[in-house]
Amino acid sequence: MDLELAGRVILVTGGSEGLGAALVRTLAAEGARVAFCARRAEALDQLADEIMKAGAAEADVLPVAADVTSPADLERFTELAVGRWGRIDGLVNNAGRSAAEMFDTQTDEMWSEDLELKVYGAIRLIRLALPHLRAAGGGSIVNTLAVAAKAPGAGSTPTSVSRAAGLALTKALSKELGRDGIRVNAVLIGLLESRQWERRATELGVSTSDLYADLGQNSGIPLGRVGEARDFADLAAFLLSPRAAYLTGAGINLDGGLSPVH
């Protein structure tokens, strides 16, 4: 299926590794022009070099070192993309990390940091991109969330609360921006391969493959496996594309059937 993404300009935060990097690769292979950011310039440049060397058809990518908790960095990220390509057709708020502990161990600082990263970062980038999405005649916004936004468990805060806010933002903006031809959807991930799990495997002294196998078999996932980064990339790319033209306000679980709430 042709996703009709060739030439479209897409912004991706948290794009240097894991799910974000997989999405950048997929979008570039589809012919999209992709600006992607993260804090580590070295990792960003490595991914950009990898994509160009892979010879993706007409690959055109722009790595930008930026911290999504910095309004100035987000403004620079947006300006660099528009300065290079003159438009924005879509964006993916993917920056984030797991922050989950028992409530009575948490400080105001932990809550503030999580909300800045996962909620305010998304709000600010959407605000910056909106004039350009409108000027392009519409577009697509995708927010990367977690299934805990719908079904939070014990010890899931502050992440579950931040992700629930992201889901509310998705739903509200889909109603508000639909008249402008701007679709807003969210992908709620369950257990998916990521650098966070790789780091966890190192901490436990086990191989990443063994950890994924254990999680797949013992976490109650009906499909019996941990999701792959490309599973996320394929879904997010579809939501960004004109092929999803009648889909907005959706919070789609990508969890192998794990969550009890859909």
Please tell me the predicted confidence (pLDDT) of residue 56. Answer: 55
In the beta sheet, which residues pair with residue 184? 141
Q: What does the pLDDT look like over 211-252, one tens digit per residue?
A: 999 999 999 999 999 999 999 999 999 999 999 999 999 999
Mean pLDDT of 175-203: 92
Q: Is the dihedral of CA 65, 68, 73, 78 positive or negative?
A: positive
Q: What does the pLDDT look like over 126-154, one tens digit per residue?
A: 999 999 999 999 999 999 999 999 999 99
Mean pLDDT of 76-103: 95
Q: Is 233:22 a contact under the CB 8 Å cutoff?
A: yes
Please tell me the predicted confidence (pLDDT) of residue 195. Answer: 80
Return d(Cα 63, Cα 65) in angstroms, integer. 7
Mean pLDDT of 78-101: 95
223: left (phi over 0), alpha (psi -120 to 50) or beta: alpha
For the chain, the structural domain boundaries read 9-192+229-254, 193-226
Class of domain 9-192+229-254: alpha beta
For residue 126, give both structure tokens.
Answer: 């959407």
pLDDT grade, residue 71 (50/70/90)? Answer: very high
Mean pLDDT of 6-23: 96
